[in-house]
Amino acid sequence: MGYAASRSPDERTGRQGSVGYTRPVTRPAAPAHGWFITIEGPEGAGKTTQADALARHLVDLGLDVHTTREPGGTWLGERLREILLARTDSAAPTDPLTDALLFNAARRQLVTEVIRPALDAGRTVVCARFADSTLAYQGYGAGIPLDRLRALELAATDSLTPDLTILLDVPVEVGLERTRRRKEWNRFEDTEEVAFFERVRAAYLGFAEAEPDRFRIVDGSGSVADSDEAIRNVVAATFGVAQAG
Ligand code: ATM
């Protein structure tokens, strides 16, 4: 007994590249194609911490896991991250479509160099942020029409869509306060108003409502341990891995 996996196209969404599963009753063998799990959410929700914790949990369950992030995850992507997040000395505002192009350039390199090969080799990929971030920040936050962004996303991802997206949700003021305590603000945190981050958060909640099969919302306002446990439960319910062992 085990899971049944097929990567194209998914019956529920019609998307290429999704995976369908039935609940395993014993420890799952490594899937023929790995699971692609993304963690999204507003600032200060703890995405990076939770991505690392989830990866350790999945490794303990016997899966081969690669953890990565956006923007970043490749040599080129990490250079683009430095450029994109650096607080600017220029008096001219950065055009949001320029941002979208650069985020998608980093994404394309990450997908082709890292994510696709890992999934094809049966590895599970856990990625902090992915294409939903561009729709939320450059789309709903900065006002770029979604059809333009979806065209860029398609070029960057070749329709690769996460099997599971965990939305780590936290109220904007709480998240920004946490971020302020933890690190120097990046360009977005430095230049955007609270209203921008409210639009981003509302966008994420809207995505989750529109795609309930892919999204699971986890409350990120409590302790790290609380989020950690909630994410493990989500992954267990989605993939059946908690029955392992
Ligand atoms: P963190 O990885 O620390 O969350 O920072 C990445 C920043 O880049 C984050 N900033 N804020 N505030 C969100 C932003 N971002 C986008 O605006 N669009 C994107 O497509 C991605 C991947 C990130």
Residue 139 in contact with ligand 1 by CB distance below 6 A: no
Strand 124-128 versus strand 65-69 pairing type: parallel
**229: alpha, beta or left, given left = phi > 0 and alpha = psi -120 to 50?**
alpha
What is the residue-averaged pLDDT of the chain?
Answer: 87
Structure token digits, residue 54: 């989830």
Q: Whose CA is nearest to atom 15 of ligand 1?
A: 133
Q: Which domain holds residue 95?
A: 6-239
Q: Which residue has the higher pLDDT, 66 or 26?
A: 66
Q: Which of 27, 36, 35 is CA-nearest to residue 60? A: 27
Q: Which residue has the higher pLDDT, 83 or 241?
A: 83
**Residue 81 — pLDDT band, cuts 50, 70, 90?**
very high
Burial annotation 51-72 (CB, 10 A radius, 16+ → b, else e)? bebbbebbeebebebbbbbbbb
1 domain residue, yes or no: no
Per residue in 91-149, pLDDT tens?
Answer: 888 999 999 999 999 999 999 999 999 999 999 999 999 999 999 999 999 999 999 99
**Residue 4 — pLDDT band, cuts 50, 70, 90?**
very low
* Tokens 């996996």 sit on residue: 5
Q: Whose CA is nearest to atom 4 of ligand 1?
A: 43
Best residue among 78, 81, 87, 133 to mutate for probing ligand 1, ranked by most atoms within 8 Å of CB: 133
Per residue in 5-18, pLDDT tens?
Answer: 333 333 333 333 33
d(CA 174, ligand 1 centre) in Å: 17
Q: How far is CA 174 from the centre of its chain?
A: 20
- Would you state the pLDDT for residue 89? 82
Listed in sequence order, the DSSP H helices in the chain are 47-60, 75-85, 96-110, 116-120, 131-134, 146-157, 172-182, 187-191, 194-210, 224-239
SS3 189: helix
Best residue among 152, 186, 194 to mutate for probing ligand 1, ranked by most atoms within 8 Å of CB: 186
74 domain residue, yes or no: yes
SS3 193: coil
170 domain residue, yes or no: yes
Across the range 60-66, mean pLDDT stands at 94
pLDDT at residue 44 above 50?
Answer: yes
- Alpha-carbon distance of 74 to 80, in angstroms, equals 10
Q: How far is CA 92 from CA 18, 88, 95, in A?
A: 41, 9, 9
Residue 137 in contact with ligand 1 by CB distance below 6 A: yes
- For residue 47, the number of C-alpha atoms closer than 13 Å in the C-beta half-sphere is 27
**Residue 22 — pLDDT band, cuts 50, 70, 90?**
very low
pTM score: 0.86
Across the range 221-235, mean pLDDT stands at 93
Across the range 36-51, mean pLDDT stands at 93
Ligand 1 atom nearest to CA at 48: 2
Q: State how many domains the chain has.
A: 1
At 73, which CATH number? 3.40.50.300
**Residue 67 — pLDDT band, cuts 50, 70, 90?**
very high
244 domain residue, yes or no: no
245 domain residue, yes or no: no
73 domain residue, yes or no: yes
Q: Check if the beta carbon of residue 111 is closer than 8 Å to that of residue 118.
A: no
Residue 153 in contact with ligand 1 by CB distance below 6 A: no
